[in-house]
Structure 1
Amino acid sequence: MTAHMMNRDKDRARDGDAFILVAVTDPVLHPEAVHVAAATTRPVIDLGEADDSGMRRHAHRAAAVLVDATTADALVGTRLPGKVFFLHTESSDIPWPKALACHAEQAFILPAQAPDILEALADLPVATTAATRGGGSAISVAFTGSCGGAGTSTTAALTARQAARRGHTVTLIDADPHSGGLDLLLGIEDVPGARWPDLMLTDTGGIDADDLRSALPHTSDGIGVLSAARSTVDDPFVLEDKQVTRIVDVLSTGGLTLLDLPRSHAGNLGDLTVVIVPAEIRPAAAGRALVQRLRARQAEHVILTRHRGWSGLEDEELARVLGHRPSAALPHIASLARRAETEGLPTKVPAGLRAATEAVLEHAGVG
């Protein structure tokens, strides 16, 4: 399948078309799986060298997931809204314990049973499960910066504000274990509601997305915020990757989820990753490495330029360093920092920053 076909299918999948996720690494099975999926004429997202981060980004929105003995382990303990099909070669018997552990609906031997799996795939819905719910398609966007002080948290929060003004159900997640708390940035530190230490999740099977959102503190414009807690004693709680992943899984049934991620985790979560790069030499160099990593993972991403008042690179120079032209710029607004410190970010996104937040929402397919 060509890169052009893959990009087109990702666009269709993002628009709510029921897509098939191919997470098969066996060199014999992989071309057979892609061929079968493509024969359905549905959008196909092929993870290629399937890793856990790609599975996390797409599996919960897929109408069907095709796995093999290598990739099935990534779904153990996870219940997906779509169907899981386990694929195996004719060279040996199907490893049924693996197929059952990933909650596969059926197992097929390829290429011998290609007609059978095509028949099973023909019963898939026209739209993804999330897209048929009242809240619309579930979309997750991760924000990260190429360096500290890039404005990642502020940009994520303002994008949440802009989406809320459009009437979307928005949840903003503080996924940085060393964060001071997004609730402080939004001025809701005194609003009651669950913070990370209050959740202590071990499984998401019985958790409803609406129940989770209602338990969180909310801003005046309706944004649910999951952030760190502050204590006067040494708190033993440590935010772990699996906890963030579980919360994103819960919210995958609908609405818009925005994550403030440390750059070490970029590409692990989110249908789209927003990389914020200050127009300075060292942040740009770090941004290039980050963008290259996202490309290697086939993670959809968009770059925003940040001008912090002492930018050393012009737009053209920055584009050359990054190997990618930024989609929008974040100008420096001195009054915004002062206001965030004293009363939290404004409900209305400042005019100078509105274009950048609109660019993010457009790339994410959020109308």
Structure 2
Amino acid sequence: MPDDLLVLVDPDLYDDVARCAAAAGYRTVAARPDDCRREWLTSRAVVADPAAIAVLTLIHPPRRDGLILVSAEEPRADTWRMAMDLGATDAAALPSDENRLVRSLTDVRVPRRRPAGVLAVIGAHGGAGASTLAAAVALTSVGNGSSTLLLDLDDVAPGADLLLGIEQRPGLRWQDLSLDGGVVGGTALHHALPRAGSGLAVLTSERLPTRAPGSDAVAAVIDAGQAHGDLVVVDLPRADTPVVRTAIASADLVVLVSAPSVGGCAAARRVVGRLIGDEVSVELVVRGPSPGGLRPAQVADAIGVPLIAAYRPDPRLPVRLEGGPLRVRPRSPLGRAAQAVHSRVAGQGRAA
């Protein structure tokens, strides 16, 4: 027997939705958005347009899986926020995205993907290069064929979107998410965020944020990325806040970036002791050169954490970043370090 699909759309979209429902093996059930509680609770999936989303937001039905936003054009940011608060898992613009809608309806029936890893990157001190390494690992992950989610949690930094050259692209920022302890669909999240290429979604703060991201939103977004099968890369500030502790607690691996100096070692030991602790794996990337001749292995021994990689900074990188987005060449020192970190978190063995 076919599953029921609750269709809450304008008549102009109904035929397109019905055609996709038939292709995915659903039986359509029509109802009014303001009087659909029974169908909302019993249908396998729900398709709703922006007008229906607005009505549903007013009557506050229970959050549910399998809600797909459809529209004749790209939905606005406020529509995305309302849809995700209701539990939307994907979106499609009809009729151009009919194949996408069929796939999304089909995916509702299948189990979630195998959860992927969560990598947190934090600098031991200012200028360590943690944000650049986090972005480089995310780009490397995409280059290796992995769907990737880059989360920038430093709301007073320039921003990962600026580093990747996508600061002008539309999409949700942290300040647009008000999940209040709820959940969010990974596919919907990817669709709503600005992207750097086809496989990398980026979530950062507004240029002039009115408020910092909340712990509940951070936890929900990390969970969504994992359930979607993403490698989640989190760029952390050096701050003892609930948000930072939530991200660290969710991580499979924390990568600490430090300079090979006495001061860098002292700062790194403090970060490990005060922020990271011993309940999560933490490993080291050393970004040289050393002013006093310290070797990377000596730095790792002094801090008391394993060494993943060591690399020299590219003196031409700051000039290139002034004129364009970050590009990671696989054979460059940064590219090799990023590949080593990606291999480590992807479970392909430890590279040193």
Q: Settle same-fold status: TM greater than 0.5.
A: yes
Matches for 1:255-334 after TM superposition, within 5 Å = 255-264=230-239, 265=244, 267-292=248-273, 296-307=277-288, 310=291, 313-334=294-315
Tell me which amino acid in the other structure corresponds to 2:185: D
Distance 1:347 1:358, change over 3 A: closer
String of CA shifts for 1:108-156, please: whole Å, max 9, x gaps. xxxxxxxxxxxxxxxxxxxxxxxx9575432110000101111111000
Matches for 1:85-164 after TM superposition, within 5 Å = 135-164=113-142
String of CA shifts for 1:201-234, please: whole Å, max 9, x gaps. 22333x2110011100001253100011124xxx
Partner SS, residue 334 of structure 1: coil
Query: Contact 1:165–1:221 at 8 Å: present in 2 too?
Result: no
Query: Contact 2:328–2:335 at 8 Å: present in 1 too?
Result: no
Q: In structure 2, how many angstroms separate the alpha carbons of the residues matched to 1:313 and 1:150?
A: 16
Q: In structure 2, how many angstroms separate the alpha carbons of the residues matched to 1:306 and 1:201?
A: 37
Q: Identity over aligned residues, as a percent?
A: 31
Distance 1:193 1:310, change over 3 A: farther
Report the alpha carbon displacement of residue 193 of structure 1 after superposing the two structures with TM: 1.1
Structure 2 residues without counterparts, runs of 5 or longer? 1-63, 65-109
Tell me which amino acid in the other structure corresponds to 1:142: A
Structure 1 position 337 matched with structure 2 position 347 = no
Tell me which amino acid in the other structure corresponds to 1:259: V
Q: In structure 2, what is the equivalent of residue 236 of structure 1? A: 210
Report the alpha carbon displacement of residue 349 of structure 1 after superposing the two structures with TM: 4.3
Q: Report how many residues are paired.
A: 234
Structure 1 position 211 matched with structure 2 position 188 = yes
Report the alpha carbon displacement of residue 273 of structure 1 after superposing the two structures with TM: 0.6
Give 1 or 2 for the bigger CA radius of gyration: 2
2:200 aligned residue (212, 223, 238): 223
Report the alpha carbon displacement of residue 192 of structure 1 after superposing the two structures with TM: 1.2
Partner SS, residue 250 of structure 2: coil
String of CA shifts for 1:79-130, please: whole Å, max 9, x gaps. 9xxxxxxxxxxxxxxxxxxxxxxxxxxxxxxxxxxxxxxxxxxxxxxxxxxx
Q: In structure 2, what is the equivalent of residue 14 of structure 1? A: none
Tell me which amino acid in the other structure corresponds to 2:271: L
Structure 1 position 363 matched with structure 2 position 344 = yes
String of CA shifts for 1:237-271, please: whole Å, max 9, x gaps. 22233321221122231211100012333633311
Under a length normalisation based on structure 2, what TM-score does the superposition of the two structures give? 0.60
Query: Contact 2:179–2:216 at 8 Å: present in 1 too?
Result: no
Query: Contact 1:180–1:228 at 8 Å: present in 2 too?
Result: no
Tell me which amino acid in the other structure corresponds to 1:364: V
Partner SS, residue 238 of structure 1: coil
Q: In structure 2, how many angstroms separate the alpha carbons of the residues matched to 1:344 and 1:309?
A: 28
Tell me which amino acid in the other structure corresponds to 2:186: A
Query: Contact 1:185–1:341 at 8 Å: present in 2 too?
Result: no
1:193 aligned residue (158, 164, 171): 171
Q: In structure 1, how many angstroms separate the alpha carbons of the residues matched to 2:277 and 2:328?
A: 37
Under a length normalisation based on structure 1, what TM-score does the superposition of the two structures give? 0.58
Distance 1:301 1:320, change over 3 A: closer
Q: In structure 2, how many angstroms separate the alpha carbons of the residues matched to 1:323 and 1:331?
A: 22
Partner SS, residue 299 of structure 2: helix
Report the alpha carbon displacement of residue 348 of structure 1 after superposing the two structures with TM: 3.9
Query: Contact 2:329–2:335 at 8 Å: present in 1 too?
Result: no
Report the alpha carbon displacement of residue 339 of structure 1 after superposing the two structures with TM: 1.4
Tell me which amino acid in the other structure corresponds to 1:197: Q
Structure 1 residues without counterparts, runs of 5 or longer? 1-78, 80-131
Distance 1:154 1:144, change over 3 A: same
Query: Contact 1:184–1:344 at 8 Å: present in 2 too?
Result: yes
Partner SS, residue 263 of structure 1: coil
